[in-house]
Amino acid sequence: MSSSWETIIGLETHVQLRTKSKMFCGCATAFGAPPNTQVCPVCLGLPGALPMPNGAAIGLAVRAALALGCTVHPKSVFARKNYFYPDLPKGYQISQFDQPLATNGTLSFLAPERGIVTAGVVRLHLEEDAGKSIHDRFPKATAVDLNRSGVPLIEIVGGPDLRSPAEARAYLQTLKQLLEYIGISDCDMEKGSLRVDANVSVRRAGETALNTRTEVKNINSFAFVEKALTVERDRQIALIESGGAVTQQTMLYDSKENAVRPQRSKEESHDYRYFPEPDLPPLVLTPEFVAEQQSALPELPAAKRDRFVATYALSREHATVVTSNRAVADYYENVVRAGAEPQAAANWVMTEALADAKDHQEQLRVAPGALAQIVALVKGGTLSHQAAKKVFGEVAAKGGEPRTIAEALGLIQVADSNVVAGWVTDVLGAHASEVGRYKSGETKLMAFFVGQVMRASKGKADPKLAQRVLEEKLTAS
């Protein structure tokens, strides 16, 4: 049914900035402290307390804005967003409204159906986080923890430029990758340091006007982004096809049921009564400050990928995988710098290194120099590929020098033709009938003989040499 429908999605992403202290007070931001122990007059909203902005948070926000190609405004204004909620201590959130920090950026990403898509970033602004309301701690009561109250956030408002749930996922993946790259956030959705809300609407293919949209909230894991949006899209299409109309509302995603349900609406609509925060003068950024943030930015993923294609002659796909994460990209370059052939190094990084990291808390356990040595040993014929994998595993688990380990494990390939000839003679002697069939033209049995030689040598024979000796003996006799 969805083929005649187009989906319009825009994401609003909240990202916790990586700072030691909160946005407007000196309380720690560390995750996991006992409740209400990282609080002070400011983040408790005590009478008379005033906010004092964290320069590092502002710097990180500017870096994010620059990385997204936004216009960073030399003057922006904090504003109060007024609403009542028990975990919002002041009864307002300090945010930015009509004069945000940055506007008008873009994010290019690889969309599953449309190739490279450049989505707009409407605005990026700074704000403080609220605390946490816990509804299942006490019966008939809500428990409030204000440790998170006042933690610095940026909100990145994406344009309505995404055309499918899968695209939304790809966009978010790319955004996350970018923000991790520039080191402004750990972007951990499970810890709440990356949160995403989505505006979703549908229209019949060919229409240009935007229809009524809903906001989908409570998507609290990366895995749910696509699912939640698919459910909401299908709901809207089914609704319209059955003659109904979409109403503007907030839908909450329930991951257990894989369903959305409308947020029980308060009797009055939101009226946040934004006005300029009188406790804070304008946020003025000097050109020097912005330039400082610009120079603190590392090479961004897209630029790095292009460079890897150009410098290391990797395919675009391989370059994309190798640059997906800044640590992996740096690792790859160190392996190459240590002397490994670039394509072979990429193959090793993409397979063994990433697989090992996945099983070991994302740690790249084999030092770049060691991996370069393994690559060289394979290339020089000293280790078979199979043997090299074993060596990699050993080095990862126990450390040490690959060559020494290979020797200790007896994995060095035997390239002495006399020794190999001995194994060949044994194999041919043991398989007289196969020898006969080979000689009568069944040459594909060569692979069988090679395999038997490898087996007899316990993997130590150089397979190429074994084949040459086999060919010699089978034609000679």
Partner 1 sequence: MSVSREEVLRIAQLAELDVEKEALPELVDNMSRIIDYVAQLSAVPANGTVKVFVPGPDAIRFRADEVTPAHLAFGPAEFAPDFKEGFFVVPKLGQFE
Partner 2 sequence: MSDAKAVADRLVKAKRLNALLTPPKDLRKSLAIQEAAARPTGVLYGMPVAVKDNICTLEFTTTCGSRILEGYRSPYEATAVAKLKTAGALIAGKTNCDEFAMGSSTEHSAYGRVLHPLDKARVPGGSSGGSAALVAAGAVPAALGSETGGSVRQPAAFCGVVGIKPTYGRVSRYGLVAFGSSLDQIGVFGRSVHDAARVLSVISGRDPRDSTCEDRDPLRLPTVPESLQGFVIGLPKEYFPPELDPAVRRACDRAVRLMKELGAAVREVSLPHTPYAVPTYYVIAPAEASSNLARYDCVRYGPRFDGRVDLRGLYRSTRGQGFGPEVRRRILVGTYVLSAGYYDAYYKRAQQMRALIAQDFRNAFDRGVDLLFTPTVPSPAFKAGEKLSDPIAMYMSDIFTVTANLAGLPAMSLPIGRIKGLPLGGQLVGQAFLEDEMIEAAYALERVVPATDEA
- In whole angstroms, how far apart are CA 144 and each of 28, 58, 84, 94, 190? 18, 27, 14, 19, 19
Q: Least distance to partner 1 from the beta carbon of 22, Å?
A: 9
The answer to whether residue 22 forms part of the interface with partner 2 (CB under 8 A) is no
DSSP structure string for 275-341? EE-TTS--EE--HHHHHHHHHH----HHHHHHHHHHHH---HHHHHHHTSSHHHHHHHHHHHHTT--
Which residue among 45, 69, 298, 393 contacts partner 2 (CB under 8 A)? 45
Nearer to partner 1, 43 or 175 (CB): 43
**105 Cβ partners below 8 Å, 6+ apart?**
65, 68, 69, 70, 71, 120, 121, 124
- Contacts with partner 1, 146-165, as mask; x by CB under 8 A: x-------------------
The answer to whether residue 262 forms part of the interface with partner 2 (CB under 8 A) is no
Q: Which does 90 bind (CB under 5 to 8 A by kind): partner 1, partner 2, Zn ion, none?
A: partner 2
Q: Least distance to partner 2 from the beta carbon of 74, Å?
A: 18
Q: Which does 288 bind (CB under 5 to 8 A by kind): Zn ion, partner 2, partner 1, none?
A: none
Which residue among 1, 3, 135, 432 contacts partner 1 (CB under 8 A)? 135
Nearer to partner 1, 16 or 174 (CB): 16
The answer to whether residue 259 forms part of the interface with Zn ion (CB under 5 A) is no
Measured CA to CA, the distance from residue 402 to residue 392 in angstroms comes to 7
Which residue among 8, 15, 43, 469 contacts Zn ion (CB under 5 A)? 43
Nearer to partner 2, 47 or 287 (CB): 47
Q: Which does 8 bind (CB under 5 to 8 A by kind): partner 2, Zn ion, partner 1, none?
A: none
Measured CA to CA, the distance from residue 200 to residue 226 in angstroms comes to 12
**3 Cβ partners below 8 Å, 6+ apart?**
205
Nearer to partner 1, 80 or 460 (CB): 80
Supply angle C-alpha 84, 88, 93, rounded to 5: 90
Q: Which does 57 bind (CB under 5 to 8 A by kind): partner 2, Zn ion, partner 1, none?
A: partner 1
Nearer to partner 1, 36 or 106 (CB): 36
The answer to whether residue 133 forms part of the interface with partner 1 (CB under 8 A) is yes
Whose CA is closest to 425, among 461, 382, 387? Answer: 461
Measured CA to CA, the distance from residue 106 to residue 451 in angstroms comes to 55
Whose CA is closest to 449, among 476, 475, 422, 431? Answer: 431
Measured CA to CA, the distance from residue 48 to residue 375 in angstroms comes to 65
Q: Which does 54 bind (CB under 5 to 8 A by kind): partner 1, Zn ion, partner 2, none?
A: partner 1
Nearer to Zn ion, 29 or 467 (CB): 29
Measured CA to CA, the distance from residue 401 to residue 374 in angstroms comes to 9
- In whole angstroms, how far apart are CA 378 and each of 100, 314, 318? 56, 20, 21
Residues 122-141 that bind partner 2 (CB under 8 A): 140
Q: 446-456 vs 463-476: helix axis angle to the nearest 10?
A: 120
Which residue among 249, 263, 315, 386 contacts partner 1 (CB under 8 A)? 263
Q: Please identify, among the stretches 22-30, 71-79, 113-121, 424-432, the one whose residues bind Zn ion according to the rule CB under 5 A.
A: 22-30
Which residue among 10, 59, 89, 150 contacts partner 2 (CB under 8 A)? 89
Amino acid in the structure at residue 245: A
Which residue among 34, 55, 243, 278 contacts partner 2 (CB under 8 A)? 278
Sign of CA dihedral 102, 100, 149, 136: negative
**413 Cβ partners below 8 Å, 6+ apart?**
381, 382, 383, 384, 387, 460, 461, 462
Which residue among 85, 98, 108, 400 contacts partner 1 (CB under 8 A)? 85
Amino acid in the structure at residue 131: G
Which residue among 25, 66, 322, 370 contacts partner 1 (CB under 8 A)? 25
Q: Least distance to partner 2 from the beta carbon of 35, Å?
A: 13
The answer to whether residue 369 forms part of the interface with partner 2 (CB under 8 A) is no
Which residue among 6, 12, 71, 134 contacts partner 1 (CB under 8 A)? 134
- Do residues 323 and 308 make contact, with C-beta atoms less than 8 angstroms apart? yes
**Positions that interact with Zn ion (CB under 5 A):** 25, 27, 40, 42-43
